[in-house]
Amino acid sequence: MSKKFVLVMFVLSIIVAALYAYLGGFSSATVSEVNSQQLYVAGRAFNGSVKDEQLNSVFRRAAEVLDKKELEGVLGNIYYNNPDESSDSINAFIGVIIPDTAAQLPADYELRSVPGNRRALRSEVDAHYMLAPNKLYEAVFDYAEEQKLALETFYVEWFPEERKGVVEVPIKE
């Protein structure tokens, strides 16, 4: 190998590491036990393969709803199966977390309510929404295992800022 090749590879490695750090790749998630609050999610249901193009379409539609200001809120999703254990299928409701039920929904959207006042684990991380989910779920599952807590198969995730992710999972009573 020439010195020039090694130098180019070194510079590229530094750039990739810097980008990863900028997106929050080296951030770690924090987990806390909380009393959940009621949330309202406007969106569309999806039940199928994670490889299905329709899933990408539903996610893109949620981003479009916010970009076009059809709703005020933040990206948010409800998962009715464990994203880590369900191999290639997903049962989800994907959309926007809105402040209340008074919003006029787009024609292709429906409203679902996430009940509040439940004991839950909340994981938070300062990372881009493309990197956050893996960190959030891993932290929740590790904490639950350490504390010997059983979790419900119901996950709510939202992204209150471009580089912040949150997931809440109710604790089985």
pLDDT value at position 6?
64
The residue extents of the domains of the chain are 30-170
Could you give the 3-state DSSP secondary structure of residue 170? Answer: strand
Nearest to 158 by CA among 76, 37, 66, 60: 76
pLDDT value at position 125?
82
CATH 2.40.50.140 fits 30-170, yes or no: no
pLDDT value at position 76?
95
Contact present, 97 and 40 (Cβ < 8 Å): yes
> In which region does residue 169 sit, left (phi positive, over 0), alpha (psi from -120 to 50) or beta (all else)?
beta
pLDDT value at position 24?
47
How confident is the prediction along the chain (173 residues), in pLDDT tens digits per residue? 677 766 666 566 666 555 555 454 445 678 899 999 899 999 999 999 888 999 999 999 999 999 999 999 999 999 998 766 656 789 999 999 999 999 999 999 999 999 999 999 999 887 544 555 677 888 999 999 999 999 999 999 988 876 678 889 999 98
Q: How far apart are CA 92 and CA 157, in angstroms?
A: 11
pLDDT value at position 12?
65
pLDDT value at position 69?
95
Torsion of Cα atoms, 136 then 163 then 12 then 26, to 10° = -40
Q: How far apart are CA 36 and CA 170, in angstroms?
A: 8
